[in-house]
Structure 1
Amino acid sequence: MKTQHTDVVAEYLREVDLRLAGLPVLQRRELLADLAAHIENERVERNLQGEAELIEVLERLGSPEVVARAAYEEAGPLPPVVEPPLPPRMAPPMPPAPRRERAPWVLPVIGVGFVSFLVLMVLCAGFFAFSRQGNPAPAPEIATPAAPAPEMSLPAAPTLLDGPTPLDAPVPTATG
C-alpha cells in the first residue's frame, strides 16, 4: 500500500515542480522538500492508511496550480505561473544555396577554342591529303647486294721467266 501512497505524492510533487519552472532551482527544491515533509508528517500523525485519505490531504494543500501561485507570490515580483515546458523544436531546414552564375565570357571563349581546334584539324588533314596526291612518291627501291660471281681461278699464263710449267711437263702414261 505504501507504493500507492508514494505514487500519488510523487505525481503531485512533479506537477508542482513543473509549474514552478520560473523560480530559481534552489528555491524550487526547498519548496518541494518542504511539501514532501509536510505530507509525510500528516500521514504519520493521522495514521493514514488509504490512498483516499492521502488524496484528501493533498486536496487540502491545494492543486499544484494554487501551490505554485502561492510560491510565486511569496517569492516576489516574478513572472506568472507558466505551463510545463514544451519539448524543443527542430531547427527549420536550411534554404538551398544560391545558384552560382557563370561569367558571361566563359561559354564564348570555350566555343571559339573548340571551333579553332576543328579548323586546325581540317587544315592538317587537307595538307596531308594534298601532299600525297600532288607528288606520288616513287616506290622505294630495295637495294639488294648482287650475288658474287663464283670465283674461278685460272692458271696464270706461263711466262718465259717462270721456267717450265706443269703443262710442259711430260704426262705419264700408263703402259700396259
Structure 2
Amino acid sequence: MSSINKIDVVGEYLREVDLRLSGLPLLQRHELLADLRAHIDTAREQGAYTDSEMIEVLQRLGSPEAIAAAAYWEAGPQPPRFQPAPPPESAPPSGGVPGWVIATIAGVVAVFIIGGLIGFLALARVGGAPAPATAVVDAPGAPHAPDAPDLVPAPRPTQ
C-alpha cells in the first residue's frame, strides 16, 4: 500500500474536533486539542502503532461530536463574538429624494409665495386707483395719420 493513499486517522480526527470547536475561544480550543494529542502520544508510547489500534484509542476518547458537545457544556454560555461589519458598499438607494433637494425646492417656492404676497399687498395698498390717463395731442405741423383715432379733437383754425 502506498503512503500517499494512507489516511492520517489521527490528523483527520483532530481536524474534525477543531472544526467542531470553532465557536469556542481560541485558547480553550488549543488547550483541548493539546490534551487530545497528549492522550494519543501516550497511547503510541504504550504500543498503539497500527491504524486499527489508533482507531480504538480515538473511539475511547470519544467522537469529535461528543468531545465538542462536552467542551461547549463545560464552557457554558459564551459572550457574543465580535464580528466586524462588512465594509459598506455603495449606499443603497433609499427610494426617496435627498433632503437637500427638498430643502432647495421648498426655499424657492417660499420665495415666490412671499414675493407674490408682498406684491399683492403693495397693489392693494395703493387702493387700486387707475393710473392717470394721458392724452395724445398732435403737435402743430406734425403729420397726422388719417387712420389714427383722434383721442383729443384737433384745434380748429381761427379765421
**TM-score scaled to structure 2, two decimals?**
0.45
**TM-score scaled to structure 1, two decimals?**
0.41
Larger Rg: 1
